[in-house]
Amino acid sequence: MKKILVTGALGQIGTELVFFLRNLYGKNNVIATDIRYNETNIVTNSGPFAILDVTDGEKMLQIAKREKVDAIIHLAAMLSAVAEQKPLAAWHLNMNGLLNALEIARELGIQLFTPSSIGAFGSSTPKEQTPQVTIQRPGTMYGMNKVAGELLCDYYHTKYGVDTRGVRFPGLISFMAPPGGGTTDYAVDIYHAAIERGRYESFIAKGTYMDMMYMPDALQGVVQLMEANPEKLKHRNAYNIAAMSLEPEEIAEEIRKHIPAFVLDYKVDPMRQAIAESWPNSVDDSAAREEWGFSAEYNLEITTADMLEKLRGTKAKAR
């Protein structure tokens, strides 16, 4: 990749990915876009930025042409919990935004990365070591959007030769930006609460396992896949990738190694709990490992130590 357009750049993934890409490829070669402007976000202060509503295909095309980009990383989306509250708005944003990005990639002959999610699976999917290719019958609007997105990317690759690529992200843990309404958000919130209050009230029930990943592994995975040899990519638009299968008590126990008095309480949100229970406990990422060399480096112990250190530093600067 030489010049990249990133949509949804002020979200949880985008905030860190744009910074990561600018360090790799140069700040002027990564054009960040989002529907809003945030003058305090590192994305808007470290390189080119433009306001973009991804449902406006003409505006997206104008920016892509003007900047002469050769890749789009399409992150703009409404996440699982919010999408359940606003299903029609979620369909409009998630599907029309992706179709616009695909059409631009087709017209300009450029590469496209868009993430799928473990939300693309449903209650009928095998829960343990979910296979790369398996039953996908999600019960949420977000999940349906992700399955449709995987299929659309397959279609544009097969019919038009667009170089589409993607991964099924697990829940992502990061410190730089707040989560955006996902079911796995508790795994980010719990660290903030540990630093600020010494206790946390989880909206996900004890014993509920979900796949999680620390953001540095996710960022490296995006770049690895985008730079991979296309001839080796058999499952190019929906690779399972994995790092940790966790439930709330395990995170709390690791936090107590650093903050011994930390208290974890529960106030389960029925909607998000139902979503979590329909998702895999763990996934098989052997296809990603074999086809483009993915390998996560961060386990829970390393993630927790780094998260707490980074959050303490961030909050100290804010005071």
- All domains of the chain, ordered by start, with CATH? 4-170+215-240 (3.40.50.720), 172-212+243-282+298-318 (3.90.25)
* pTM attached to this predicted model: 0.94
- Known catalytic residue at 155: no
With 0-12 / 13-18 / 19 or more C-beta atoms within 10 angstroms meaning exposed / middle / buried, residue 28 is exposed
pLDDT at 315: 62
Q: Distance between CA 273 and CA 288 in Å, rounded? A: 29
pLDDT tens, 276-291?
A: 999 999 999 999 999 9
- DSSP code of 221? H
User: Average model confidence (pLDDT) for the chain?
Assistant: 95
C-alpha closest to that of 33 among 25, 41, 109: 41
Q: What pLDDT band is residue 1 in, cutting at 50, 70 and 90?
A: low
Which of helix, strand or coil describes residue 69? coil
Catalytic residue, chosen from 37, 142, 156, 186, is 142
pLDDT tens, 51-101?
A: 999 999 999 999 999 999 999 999 999 988 899 999 999 999 999 999 999
What value does the mean pLDDT take over residues 217-241? Answer: 97
Residues in the chain: 319
pLDDT tens, 134-162?
A: 999 999 999 999 999 999 999 999 999 99
